[in-house]
Chains A and B, each alone.
Chain A
Amino acid sequence: MDELYSLADRTGLDLPPGLERLFVIEEILDTLEEDSEDRRESRGDAVHVDEKKYFGLSAGDYDLDPGPGEVLAKRYNETMIRAIARDPSWAFAYWDVSDADLESMRGDESSAGLFLRVAELGSAEPRGSAAESRNPADEAHKDFFDIPVADLDSQWYINLPRSGVRFRIDLCARRGGPAGKIKVLARSNEVESPRQGIASPPESLSAEARELLALSGVEDLSFYPEGDSNPLRLLPSGFARPSNRAD
């Protein structure tokens, strides 16, 4: 609860002590959604105009059924996981476990279910080929956290604790209880959470550069200060969906 209150504080909420956990979470989600609305008002104008191109039309009356045998597969029956960075705070991960692997897990009485292990791999630098040549041993000491998922889950939005760093997500199965052995079923691609603060320390910039940044609008761009950590590391897929609002 302390962490939730800390997050509420950072999102600008002034909550009295002793509230129910669920209530605090809902307040935070409401604030995040309002924030998204505010940002939509102030910074999403280009996209709004994009939408105008398509305004007022609907193909509801056309028979666009793709025809028999052309319905999309729900899954591809393979054990995999892929991660996509969405913004400095969130990554989207989707995964699948093949029928064979699922069957094997279900047949194993010591199986204690699936979880995601989100491992921080370090700074987003170096990039490109230099990043590919990193020694995996260097990553062993990095921070990670686990998120239990149900067998039927196939995607989550994952709240990343820090921006400007690389992450990887392993889809894991645990055997033999909470302290049991861990089997990595699939390993995602690396994702980089984008930086949300100016890269160069202000004191390293000349007075002219600082003034030019101000003239460029740096103060209008809501570059959020880096947080220490974020306890809300995971929310279900589709949380805070402004898409569901009428525009």
Chain B
Amino acid sequence: MESAYLALVLNAHMPFVKRPEFPRFLEERWLFEAISETYLPLLRVFRSLEADSVPFRLSLSISPTLAAMLGDKAMGDRYVAYLDAQLALGEAELSRVGGDPAFEPLARMYRDLYRADKDDFQDLYGRDILGAFDYFYKKGRIELMTSCATHAFLPIFRDCREAVTSQIETAIISHRKIFGKQPLGFWLPNLGWYPGVGEVLRSYNAQYTIVTTKGALLGEPTPARGSFAPVECPSGLSVFVRDLGATQAVWSESSGYPADPVYRDFYRDIGFDLPIDYLRSHLEDSGSRIFTGFKYWAVTGRTELKRPYDPAAAAAKAVEHAARFLAERTASAESSAALLDRPPIMVCPFDAELFGHWWFEGLAFLEALFRRAALCPLRLVSLGEYLKDYPVNQVSQPEYSSWGDGGFGEVWLDGSNDWIYRHASKAVERMSELAERFPDESGLRERILNQASREVLLSMCSDWALLMRAGKSSAFARRQVEEPIANFGRIYDMLCSNTVSTEWLTRLEKRDNLFPSINYRMFRRKR
């Protein structure tokens, strides 16, 4: 019997940003940065741990939109072009800062990072990142979960059952098709839970999900084991509870580990520091300043007088923080274990892109954590493994909750983004109407209906609501909702008037090509 369990859960997600009609598309960089700074380096951590026989465990949700883009050949080509551009910038930077004792090693570090990424992506994985994760999945080192088809925040659609079921069904089918297995776990985007979603998840044979501490503790009845054990909602779905202490240690912008002065400053980037003429050949066609990924300064503190980044000092700090994280979790486990009838579990869910992309040293932290965990009383466990040991849990229904600001739905429902839901809900309603009217189509009409389904799903993506609220890329975000709704409306009108523009449809199918095995009939009304 173990004394305590620690479960790390990462949510890897990017919204669907494929735009092949543009030679280069700025928002595709979101994906490319995440691949370069998080997904490929994370796989390098796994390989390093495997080489040293370190028994690591991790639950990892790969969202269906991310999986669709990682599996897309055209996106792979564009990623290689991105890497080539980054490597060229790296060489230019090495020339520019050559001889500078502080900055030349940093320029070389970035150049080497992109070289390693290209070698891994092209040669080691044959451009198949999903296959690389699947390798560790099949070996039992990581447990892959899925998430909503297009990262919809489900509580907002709770009265619209087909919206919820289409998000869940598409995700699970997509996961099975890619990885050949039914996912045990389902990551609810933004940990967005509402009473009733457990029944839907269970009906698709999901075994578990995760909610916030607040959602669980507000549940009925109150969980007697607090956040130190999952609860079982009335449908039988196991619901793990986020550990608040672990969350604050890593997430907090002001007091969390990533705010340490020695770590790399995310915001200071040569894309904003250097003369535009020097950068012009490395920027997008528009010539706008953007983050390049080349960042030479440490957080230092709340000052403009930053210190140059020192990778060795930062790496040492990451190891120190990993040790502190484990010591704090161990202390928490010891405090709770005396009050429990079983070893406590502490569940630590994070966005994967926190590690590497935002918190540059985050992957060094993770690697150190895995290595040190093997030497401490905590046992790293995947959530599915824990449920094998403890399948019976207190029955409790968590309350409506999310990990967003305020703990409920205000991030995705405020004056900046509430207009979405009139249109997205109408699109779902009309899609259900179409599925009822055309239940047994084939050929062109089936293609049209399937494309309509993709557009409806895309319109429900919560990332765009988040960006509208944050005021970042909000014009782009608005378009990302308007376009699929307009596309769906056009298809709806086509089907109602029995006229089809096959050229337009084919173009749309080529661009919004996610979920190739989608079946529009999932929108038929559940009886």
Residues of A at under 8 Å CB distance from B?
36, 39-41, 43-62, 64, 66, 69-73, 75-76, 82, 84-88, 90, 92, 94, 124-125, 127-128, 155, 189-192, 194-200, 205-206, 208-209, 211-213, 215-218, 220-221, 223, 237-239, 241-247
Contacts and interface: CB of A to CB of B under 8 A. Distances in A.
B232 to A, nearest CB: 15
B26 A57 contact: yes
Q: Which 4 A-B pairs have the closest CB atoms?
A: A238-B415, A44-B405, A216-B226, A217-B244
B154 to A, nearest CB: 12
Contacts of A125: 220
Nearest to B409: A86
B331 to A, nearest CB: 10
Contact of B251 (A49, A217, A246): A49
A243 B357 contact: no
Nearest to B336: A215
A72 B27 CA distance: 23
Given A44-B404, A87-B409, 9 more contacts: A41-B254, A44-B406, A56-B291, A86-B408, A94-B421, A196-B218, A216-B226, A238-B414, A243-B468
B217 A198 contact: yes
Contact of A58 (B218, B234, B418, B475): B475
A72 B421 contact: no
B273 interface: no
Interface residues of B, number: 102
What's the dominant secondary structure at chain A's contact region?
loop
A53 B468 contact: no
B437 to A, nearest CB: 18
A212 B220 contact: no
Contacts of A194: 218, 399-401, 408
A54 B486 contact: no
B415 A58 contact: no
B156 A53 contact: no
Contacts of B417: 243
Nearest to A124: B195
B415 A57 contact: no
Contacts of A90: 410
Given A57-B29, A189-B159, A198-B218, A87 B472 contact: no
A75 B232 CA distance: 42
A73 B483 CA distance: 12
A46 B404 contact: yes
A242 B339 contact: no
A106 B199 CA distance: 46
A168 to B, nearest CB: 11
Given A46-B403, A82-B425, A212-B340, A217 B227 contact: yes
A87 B271 CA distance: 40
B489 A43 contact: no
A71 B483 CA distance: 9
B456 interface: no
A215 B332 contact: yes
A60 B418 contact: no
A189 B161 CA distance: 12
Nearest to B225: A212
B444 interface: no
B456 to A, nearest CB: 14
A66 B482 contact: yes
Contacts of A60: 288, 475-476
Nearest to A217: B244
Contacts of A220: 244
A217 B245 contact: yes
B26 A58 contact: yes
A243 B406 contact: no
B287 to A, nearest CB: 9
Interface string B384-424: 00000000000001011101111111110111111001110
A218 B400 contact: no
Given A66-B486, A200-B221, A213-B226, A47 B155 contact: no
A144 to B, nearest CB: 20
B353 A53 contact: yes
A106 B174 CA distance: 52
Contact of B486 (A72, A76, A92): A72
Contact of A216 (B213, B234, B350, B403): B213
A213 B421 contact: no
Given A52-B266, A76-B426, A243 B469 contact: yes
A57 B293 CA distance: 13
B71 interface: no
B294 to A, nearest CB: 13
